[in-house]
Structure 1
Amino acid sequence: MIGRRKFGCRRGSERAEPEVRDEAFRGQDPEGIVVVSVTGLGEVRAVELATDWKRRTDPRRLSTHVLSAANDATLRAASAQAEISEAAPMPPEPVGTLDGLGDKWGNPTTVSI
């Protein structure tokens, strides 16, 4: 197993579903040099570097590896969010209007029954 150094940051958010928001999604660059962990919202929580990254890649290319791993992690988080959105029930459709009711300009008001 390759040893890794871990760098992290913390920040809270309440916008996503709790199952996805609190879950960590990990992405890795194709060479396995960098692993990035993000929340369900795609917020970066940690960046891990292989301990031998300097031997495995030119330091000037490290940003390319980080970006690739971050893209992979963010894609995984977005896919999980999309799956939850697709599985969520649709809100009920309005069934009709009530004649004679409306706003002050006479536009009909649609209500759900």
Structure 2
Amino acid sequence: MKLLRALRFNSDSGQEMYYYFESVGVKNIVLCGMHTNMCILGPTFGIRGQVKLGRNVVLVRHLTNAMYHSEMPPYVFHNAGTALVIRHIEKYWHRVLNGKTFLIKDFIHCANSIHR
């Protein structure tokens, strides 16, 4: 049994991703990248959308960032803004993995303890 495989698939549609993942047997998704508060959290292909479609989705904390301007609410520095988004994801959507020590076993444990 393969625990992890990299897939080359690109889409901005949560439904399209759902059907593709179904066709290849993917149940667990690891997300990383820029703009946690915009691209990773909100759209149908992000955490909210994929969790609602029944996928086990986790975010790797240190492999992401937030789109944030410190002169807008909540008026904190950039790193603090990113931390706020990460805390929101952990509180309402799913546990977040530590990117500095990311291991396959961490993902398996995290995916098995999903909460909605």
- Give the TM-score normalised by structure 2: 0.30
Q: Which has the larger radius of gyration?
A: 1
- Give the TM-score normalised by structure 1: 0.31
Structure with the largest fraction of helix: 2
